[in-house]
Amino acid sequence: MSGPANGQRSPAGDVPSARPPSVDALARSMAGSGLPHPVLVEAARAAIASGDPAAAATRAATAAERFATTLLRQVVNATGVLLHTNLGRAPVALARRGAPARYANVELDLSTGRRGSRSDHAARLLALACGAQAALVVNNGASAVLLVLSALASGTRVPVSRGELVEIGGGFRIPEVLSASGATLVEVGTTNRTRRSDYQRALDAGGPPTGLVLKVHRSNYQMVGFTEEVGVRELATLGPPVVFDIGSGLLDDSTPWLRAGTPAWLRGEPAARQALEQGAALVTFSGDKLLGGPQSGVIAGRRELVGACARHPLARALRPGGLVLEALQDVALAYLRRDGDAIPFWRMAQVPVGELLERAEALGVGEVVRCRSVTGGGTLPGLEIDSAGVALPGDRTAPLRRAEVPVVARVHEGRTVLDLRTVDPADDGLVAEAARAALREHDG
């Protein structure tokens, strides 16, 4: 019998044909990758389907490596962006591997053994920390605004200054959220100047009732020049409840751990406690920005209004899970204990430049440089904070990301800058090792 099998020549005449490996055999050959077998099977199947049997093993390994890079994992943030949206914004401690597998009393009252409320934990502590009668936690800041408008203003008119009709990241636009909630937007004032009389004219115009007055902090851009806006204290004299979306989540502008008083880069940023003291009925804000916690949203203020939000059908759809609530509880306890060092964001934000320079020198790699950090996450636009780190020649970001614990850095003026303000000192050794490896890989 003639043919290409059994070592005979193929019809082409000179090269034996290669038989593709089985999908299962190829998948099992990559077992050392640590990826689950079904994932390796998919990589093997795609590689074999490529039609080049000789390259199947290489293609499968490449596909498996590429898949591994898509998984969530801990990274070192050396970009200098304190609230890096792509890296989860505020850094939070993750559960330690090997810790006992336990549950949490998310909705269990331990004193009675009966069902409790998930607002009895982090939300109650946050209310206490910002001087509110009550609070409710949802899954992000946008959800907080949507829930408040849906629960309190559906079918009513809501005046908003034209200068505050902002778009927050991801296409979240205030006019569209108002529309989705069932409320009717009433634009008042002009883009750059809005006065109390503009709101009053809107209230006196007739038509459907006014459910609330919405004030929105322009947290991701600045307006300068010939400008005017109405503060919470003045808005509160109009009559309807004032809801202030402060956005960034500064809880209290007199937080005791702020070194040498409130730093210049925070002055003018609205805070939850002060907004409520000035007459806001409710404030809404993100938990993963200046608050320094996990991704979440907070509604805080008058008890009856928070209760109305909690009873709305959307509240269940927007509620966070136990892991978020536990992490947020830790943040709230740190505020109440006045322990800023327990919150990584605040600890990193306030490290003196001198300490950062000493750490950069101790790395023993690259050139020690001064640089500028930013808060990021759509907060404090235009703000830069003095910082320090090391610079490597050229663009070394790709090999840094390939480190065992990936290090994320930035390129500035042709050099790779590793800003130590956003690096935990415990990770300095990892940064040094990754930097040396990146230099060797590039030079090799």
- Assign residue 382 the CATH number of its domain: 3.90.1150.180
**Residue that is last in its domain, among 319, 345, 371:** 345
In a domain, 14, yes or no: no
| Whether residues 251 and 162 fall in one domain | yes
| HSE-CB of 54 using CA atoms within 13 angstroms | 4
CA-to-CA dists, residue 65 to 53, 62, 264, 326, angstroms: 19, 5, 45, 33
25 within some domain:
no
Of 323, 273, 264, 257, residue with least CA distance to 296:
323
Q: Within this chain, do residues 258 and 363 fall inside the same structural domain, yes or no?
A: no
In this prediction, residue 370 carries a pLDDT of 96
Q: Residue 233 is encoded by which pair of tokens?
A: 């204290």
- The whole-number pLDDT of residue 10 equals 39
**Neighbouring residues of 67: CB distance < 8 A, sequence distance ≥ 6:** 35, 39, 43
- Assess whether 435 and 361 both reside in one domain: yes
> pTM of the full predicted structure?
0.86
Q: Are strands 76-77 and 407-408 parallel, antiparallel or unpaired?
A: parallel
| Residue 292 falls inside a structural domain | yes
Say if 415 falls within a structural domain.
yes
Do 357 and 253 fall within a single domain? no
CA triple 174-382-406, angle to 5 deg: 90
400 within a domain of the structure (yes/no): yes
What's the pLDDT at 237? 96
Kindly state whether residue 409 falls inside one of the protein's structural domains: yes
Amino acid 318: pLDDT: 95
Q: Verify that 407 and 434 share a domain, yes or no.
A: yes
DSSP strands (E only) in 254-404: 282-286, 297-301, 367-373, 385-393
- Rounded CA separation 324/327 (Å): 5
Domain stop point among 345, 378, 410: 345
Same domain, 252 and 321: yes
Predicted local distance difference test score (pLDDT) of residue 168: 74
Give Cα separations from 124 to 55, 103, 117, 130, 258 (angstroms).
59, 20, 10, 10, 24
Instruction: Specify if 195 maps to a domain.
Output: yes
Same domain, 249 and 357: no
Q: State how far the Cα of 369 lies from the Cα of 365, in Å rounded to an integer.
A: 12
Please give the Cα distance from 423 to 401 (Å, whole number).
15
Whole domain around residue 260: which residue ranges? 117-345
Number of C-beta neighbours around residue 400 at 10 A? 24
Domain boundary among 326, 345, 364: 345
At 116 the pLDDT is 82
Please indicate, yes or no, whether residues 305 and 393 belong to a single structural domain of this protein. Answer: no
Tell me the residue type at 121: H
Are 196 and 166 in a shared domain? yes
- What is the per-residue pLDDT for 86? 84
The tokens for 328 are 């947020």
- The residue behind tokens 């916690």 is 293
Do 196 and 278 belong to one domain? yes
> Consecutive 10-residue runs of the chain (444 residues): their mean pLDDT?
41 50 89 90 89 84 87 88 86 64 76 83 93 95 94 95 82 86 92 92 88 87 80 95 92 71 68 95 94 94 97 95 91 89 88 95 96 81 86 94 92 95 94 95 66
- 141-151 residue pLDDT tens: 999 999 999 99
Please indicate, yes or no, whether residues 394 and 341 belong to a single structural domain of this protein: no
Total domains, the chain:
3
- Token pair in block for residue 170: 């991801």
Which CATH number belongs to the domain containing residue 218 in this structure? 3.40.640.10
Mark whether 81 and 180 lie in a shared domain: no
Radius of gyration of the chain (CA): 28
16 falls within a domain: no
